[in-house]
Structure 1
Amino acid sequence: MHNFFPNFDNIIFFDVETTGLNPMKDQIIEFAAMKFTKEGACDETHFYIQLENGRTLPEEITELTGIYTEWLEKRGICMEEAMTKIKQVLFGPGTTNLLIAHNANFDMRFVLKMMSDAGFDKLCTKSHVLDSLTVARDRKEHPCKLKDMITHYHITGVENSHRAIDDVFALAKVVHAMGTECNDLDLYVNLFGMYPRFPTPEAEKILGITYVIQNYEGGKNRRLYLIEREKGIKPHGTPEEEVYGDIEDEYLARCEGRI
C-alpha cells in the first residue's frame, strides 16, 4: 500500500456508523480502522460506542446496519473511552498519517466533532485525507458507492454491509485496486470532489481540504487533480520545483507507470 503513498508513515483506512447524518446532533456508534505501517505491520481496531443521554437507535439505522440499542448498551464502550481510542488510532503523535475513507467528508466531520468535544481539535488540524469516493467518480460513471466499486473491480471475499469493520476491509481492497489501475492516488490527497448540483456547504467543509466541483465531460469525469493543476494549485506531495508540461500527458504517463 505504501507504494501508492510513499510520503506517509501510516496509511489508515477507517469507517464509522452513526445514528444519523448530522454530526452536530447525531453520534458515532461503531468505529473500525486498519492501519498499515511502513514496516509492513497491519493493526486493526474495532469497537461499538454506547448511546448518550438516553438516546435510542432510530429504526432506519437498525435496518441499515443490523445494530440494536440493546446491543450497544451491552457491547459498547463509553464515549470518553471512544474519544481517546480514536485519537490514538487516527491522530497518534510523532507520525505522518494518511486517513482514507469512502465519502470521507461524512466520516471526518463526525470524527472531528468528537475530537473537538474532547478538546483534541488542535491535534487534527494537520490531518491528510484521501476520499476514495472522489477517486471513484474519476474512474467510473455513477453510481460510485463502495458496493459499486467492489463490483467494478471484481473484488471477492468482501462486502459493503454498512458495518464499519466489513466496510474497512472492503475499502482497503478497493483502494489497492484503484492504485494498481493507475498510480495517481497521491494527487487526490486533501482534494475532495463535489457534485455541481450538490456542492458541499461552507459550514460542512473541513479545514485543510480543497473542494472542487467534479464535472463530467462526454459522459466521463475529468481527472479532478487536473482541474486543480489548471488553476495553479499544486496537489499534496508535488515538489515545488517540479514543472509539468501537458497535464493530460502527465496523467497518461502515470497510468502507464512511467512516472
Structure 2
Amino acid sequence: MAICLCCGKEYDGCLCGECAAKTDIEDLCNRIIAYNPDNGEEPKADQIWEKAVAEMTYPSNFKNVAFSVADFLPSPKREWQKIHSIVGDSVRVPRASKEWFYQVYDKIIGSEKLGKTERIRLKGLMLETLYQDYRYREADELALDLLDRPLNVWQAAYVIAEFFCQTRRYDEAEDAMSVGRTLAADNKDAIRTFDDLLAKHEKRRAAADAEKKGEYLPNPKEGKAEAIEKYREFMSSIGIDVDISSTKSSGGGRYPEPIPKGEYPELIETRDPSFDSFVAFDLETTGIHPATDSIIEIGAVRVVNGEIRESEEFIFREFVKPFKRSVTDFVTELTGITREDVKDARQMWEVVPDFMEFVGDDVLVGFNSVNFDGQFIQRAGRYSNQIYTNRHFDVWRYAKELKEIIGYTGEDFKLGTVGEFLGIKNPEAHRALADAITTARIFLKLKELSAGQTSVLCDGGVLDLEDW
C-alpha cells in the first residue's frame, strides 16, 4: 500500500515520519488486527485505512499490515504485536511461523515491559506449540506455571484444557474449561470452540471409563512411531501407563474408584500437644498444590513415649510414582529426587494405604501438614477409596503459638529456619525421612521449652511455599 495509513499521503511504507511520531502505534496495531471487514460495518469517515481496506480484493488480509506497523515500536512490544498480528484471537501459532515464534518468545518472555495479559497470552501460545511438537515435559512445566497465577485470557485456559485432555487428565481439563468458558462468556466464537473441545473430552473420557479405544494418541503424517514413543514416555512419567496396541490406559495406570471430593471427610486437626507417642511424617511432592500435584516420596518416623525410634521397624520411607505430574528439573534441584528414582515406584493409591497401616491410630505430626502434607494424604485417600480419620498436629502452627515463649523473633517459620534456631540440624533437607525426623525433634523441643507455660493459639495462616 503506497499511502500513509493515517494521513493518506503517498508514501512508500505504512506510516509517514510525521504520523509515526504522533500516532499511538500500539493502539493502531490493535485496531488493525481487530478490524473485520466482513462484519458488514461501513468504514469510518475519518479512518483512511478502513476506506482502503474496503477496496481490497481480499480485505481479510489487511490485518497482516500490523506486522509491518509493529516495526515502529521498541522491543518487546514490537515482537508482541508481530505475534499478535499473525495469530489474532487464535489459540495456535501457524506451522509456518513456529521456528520464528520459538526464537522471538525466548527473547521477550522475561521482559518486564510486557503486561500480565500479554505474558499469559504468549505462554498459552507457547504451550500449544510445545505439545503439538510432542515436547510434553516442557509443555507440562509451562502449564503448571500458568496455573500458578490467575488466568485472564480464555485462549490460555483453552490450551491448558486441550493439553490435559490429550494427556488423559480429565478432571484438570474440565477445571480449565470451566475457567475458560467464564472468561469467554461474551464471545460466541470462543464458546463454540470450547463446545467442540468438550465433545472430544467427553468422548475420550467415556473411552477411558470403559477401558476401550478412543483416547488421544499422536497421529502425525510423518514420524508417527517416534511421536507415540515420546507420548508414552511422558505419560509413564506422570503415572499413566499407555497400552499402545489398544491405545487405552493399562491396568497398571488405573486406580480404584475414587471417593467423590464432596463425600470425603475434612482433615481432623488437633491443637492439643499433650501426647508423647506419635508418627512424624513428611512428603516430597511435584509442586505446592495438593489438588493437582503429586506425592513423590513419603518419609515417617515413630516416636514412642517421647523417644524417636530410628531403627528400621520404626521408620517408613518409599518413593511414589507421581500421578498426572512429572518430576521437574526444579524439583530435582530442590530435593535430589530424579525421574529415574520414581520411574518404577508404586502409585500413591498403593503406597499410602501401606503408610497409613504403619501409622495405625497414632497422631500424625507434620510441619505445615494441615495446609499441605495432610491435604495430599486426603487426596491419596480418595484415590485409594479409603477414609483416614487420624488426627493431625501441625508443628508449624505450634511454633508460631510459642513464638514469644521461646524467644523467636524471626518472621520466617520454615522447617530449616525454626530447626536452626532450636539448635537442630538437618543435613538432608528436602528429603522426606530427614524432614520427618527434624519435625519430630522440633516438636519435642518445643514441648520441653514450653513445659508449664500457656501459649496463645495463632490463627491458621498459610506458610509461604515458594521454596517449600
Task: Settle same-fold status: TM greater than 0.5.
Answer: yes
SS in structure 1 at match of 2:280: strand
How far apart in 2 are the matches of 1:99 and 1:182? 21
Matched, 1:183 2:446: no
How far apart in 1 are the matches of 2:346 and 2:398? 34
Residue 375 of structure 2: which of 106, 109, 113 is its match? 109
Shift in Å, 1:77 = 2.5
Matched, 1:98 2:363: yes
Residue 322 of structure 2: which of 51, 56, 61 is its match? 51
Percent identity for Structure 1 against Structure 2? 22
What code does the residue aligned with 1:132 have?
V
SS in structure 2 at match of 1:49: strand
What code does the residue aligned with 2:433 have?
I
Query: TM-score, normalised on structure 2?
Result: 0.35
| Residues 193, 99 of structure 1: alpha-carbon distance in 2 compared, 3 angstrom cutoff | farther
Query: Unaligned regions of 5+ residues in structure 1, if any?
Result: 200-259
Query: Unaligned regions of 5+ residues in structure 2, if any?
Result: 1-272, 464-468
SS in structure 1 at match of 2:346: coil
Shift in Å, 1:40 = 6.3
Shift in Å, 1:116 = 1.5
Matched, 1:165 2:428: no
2:394 matched residue in structure 1: 131
How far apart in 2 are the matches of 1:186 and 1:82? 39
2:246 matched residue in structure 1: none
How far apart in 1 are the matches of 2:342 and 2:392? 29
CA shift digits 1:178-208 (9 cap, x unpaired): 01101379989xx77433xx69xxxxxxxxx
2:331 matched residue in structure 1: 61
2:413 matched residue in structure 1: 144
| Residues 21, 187 of structure 1: alpha-carbon distance in 2 compared, 3 angstrom cutoff | same
Shift in Å, 1:175 = 1.2
How far apart in 1 are the matches of 2:385 and 2:454? 30
CA shift digits 1:1-29 (9 cap, x unpaired): xxx634x7x40100001111222211100
1:71 matched residue in structure 2: 341
SS in structure 2 at match of 1:104: coil
Instruction: Give yes or no for contact 1:159–1:170 (8 Å, CA) kept in 2.
Output: no
Q: Aligned Cα RMSD in Å?
A: 2.8
Residue 35 of structure 1: which of 298, 302, 308 is its match? 302
Query: TM-score, normalised on structure 1?
Result: 0.61
How far apart in 2 are the matches of 1:181 and 1:150? 14
CA shift digits 1:114-156 (9 cap, x unpaired): 01111112x32xx222111112123223111111111111124
How far apart in 2 are the matches of 1:143 and 1:130? 20
| Runs of 4+ deviating beyond 6 Å | 184-188
1:257 matched residue in structure 2: none
Compare relative contact order (CA 8 Å, sep 6+) and give the higher one, 1 or 2.
Answer: 1
CA shift digits 1:22-71 (9 cap, x unpaired): 22211100001111235968310000011335x42122211211111111
Structure number with the higher helix fraction is 2
Shift in Å, 1:162 = 0.9
Shift in Å, 1:159 = 3.5
Answer with 1 or 2: which has the greater Rg.
2
Of 109-118 and 79-88, more deviation after overlay is shown by 79-88
1:239 matched residue in structure 2: none
How far apart in 2 are the matches of 1:38 and 1:146? 23
How far apart in 2 are the matches of 1:78 and 1:13? 22
| Residues 163, 193 of structure 1: alpha-carbon distance in 2 compared, 3 angstrom cutoff | farther
How far apart in 2 are the matches of 1:164 and 1:144? 18
What code does the residue aligned with 1:145 have?
K
SS in structure 2 at match of 1:57: coil
Aligned length: 180
What code does the residue aligned with 1:110 have?
F
How far apart in 2 are the matches of 1:81 and 1:186? 42
